[in-house]
Structures are given as structure tokens and as C-alpha cells.
């Protein structure tokens, strides 16, 4: 799969097969994140891989899923993620900012996961206090995001956005994700909307 195809076909996954992901692949994902662009090359991002079943279950309890269709969008028992990567910003490396670094790293991880046929869900709605305690995260590190991982057990699809940005499940249980049309977001030489 080339990079563009991975981007076009990528959707957030919230239902996972219960097949473990190898430590080697998890380290490969973090390495892809580590090599992302970093403003002024501060490299403030650090990563915690969670793959121990007991910890995976504890981390799951700190996350909120698919707000538009909750609780229907929550992974069900037997379809929950099998691993997580917690993305941190070390404030001793960069006192302010770093969110762009984290976003670039996360996108690298997501695309590398696609190459490995691993589904991902980028989560920002986190009980950070509980997660910090569970994982012994020091105060010097800010919790940016959590990336849920597992082999997909669903196939969400992108649809043209009509009236709403809200995603939904159709009668067959397939998640439909509205995306703005290219013509609505792409301009040449100046911001000029044709009505």
C-alpha cells in the first residue's frame, strides 16, 4: 500500500480482533513517531507502549469513545483494543508548544500501523489524572493523546458530507464518517469561494 492509498483508506477503528500485536511491531510504530518532524528539533515527544492485558484494561477505563454515537460507539467486550501508545510531551524538553510535534508523530504511527494492517483510534478525551496515576507518568510530562491499537474488526467508510459532521452507523452497523469535499477546502492562489 502506498502512502496516499493509506491516507485515503484510513478510518478510525473502534472494534478490534483480539489478536496480540508483537512487541517488534509496537516498537516499529514508536520509531516511526520518533522520526516525525519536530519544531526546532526539540523532540519533546515520549511514548509509553501498553500491551500487558491488565494494563490495557485499566487504560481502557480512562478513555471516552465516539462522542457522537456514545455509548454505541464504545468498543464492546471482546472487541476492545489490544494495545495502546500513550504520547507524552516532556516539558523539560519543550516548555510550551509541542502539540504539532505530537500530531506529526501520531500521524506517522497511524500510517505505519496501516502498513501493518493494524487499526488505530486517536483519542484525546482522556481522564488524564487517572491515566497518570496508572502509568506512573511524571509531572514533567504532559499527556497529549492515546492511540488505541488492534487488528480491525470493522470497516468504517468515508461519505460525502451533506448537512452534518456527525458520524453515524447505518442499518448494517457500518460506521459512516462524513468528510468535506475537496472543492470546499482547496483554493489556488487566494481564498476564493465559488457559490
Across the range 90-116, mean pLDDT stands at 97
Rounded-to-integer distance, Cα 32 and Cα 24, Å: 12
Cross-strand pairs, 168: 176
H helix or E strand, kind and range, residue 89: strand 83-90
162 in the same domain as 145: no
192 in the same domain as 109: no
59-70 pLDDT per residue, tens:
999 999 988 888
106 in the same domain as 29: yes
The total number of structural domains in the chain stands at 2
Across the range 152-162, mean pLDDT stands at 91
Angle subtended at Cα 86 by Cα 83 and Cα 92, rounded to the nearest 5 degrees: 155
- pLDDT at res. 194: 63
Instruction: Say which CATH number the domain at 69 has.
Output: 3.40.109.10
- pLDDT at res. 68: 85
First to last CA, the chain: 37
Across the range 122-127, mean pLDDT stands at 97
Beta strand residue intervals within 95-140, DSSP E: 119-123
Angle subtended at Cα 169 by Cα 166 and Cα 171, rounded to the nearest 5 degrees: 140
- pLDDT at res. 1: 79
Other CB atoms within a 10 A radius of the CB of residue 188 amount to 5
150 in the same domain as 162: no
Q: What is the pTM of this model?
A: 0.92
DSSP 181: -
Amino acid at each position: 500500500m502506498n502512502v496516499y492509498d493509506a491516507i485515503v483508506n484510513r478510518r478510525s477503528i473502534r472494534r478490534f480482533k483480539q489478536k496480540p500485536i508483537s512487541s517488534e511491531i509496537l516498537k516499529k510504530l514508536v520509531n516511526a513517531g520518533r522520526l516525525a518532524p519536530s519544531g526546532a528539533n526539540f523532540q519533546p515527544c515520549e511514548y509509553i507502549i501498553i500491551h500487558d492485558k491488565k494494563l490495557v484494561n485499566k487504560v481502557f477505563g480512562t478513555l471516552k469513545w465516539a462522542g457522537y454515537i456514545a455509548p454505541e460507539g464504545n468498543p464492546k467486550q471482546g472487541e476492545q483494543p489490544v494495545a495502546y501508545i500513550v504520547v507524552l510531551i516532556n516539558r523539560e524538553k519543550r516548555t510550551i508548544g509541542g502539540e504539532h510535534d505530537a500530531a506529526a508523530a501520531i500521524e506517522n504511527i497511524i500510517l505505519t500501523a496501516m502498513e501493518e494492517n493494524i487499526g488505530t483510534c486517536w483519542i484525546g478525551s482522556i481522564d488524564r489524572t487517572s491515566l497518570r496515576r496508572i502509568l506512573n507518568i511524571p509531572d514533567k510530562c504532559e499527556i497529549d493523546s492515546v492511540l488505541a491499537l488492534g487488528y480491525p474488526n470493522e470497516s468504517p467508510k468515508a461519505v460525502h458530507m451533506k448537512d452534518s459532521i456527525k458520524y453515524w452507523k447505518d442499518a448494517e452497523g457500518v460506521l459512516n464518517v462524513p468528510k468535506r469535499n475537496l472543492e470546499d477546502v482547496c483554493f489556488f492562489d487566494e481564498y476564493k469561494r465559488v457559490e
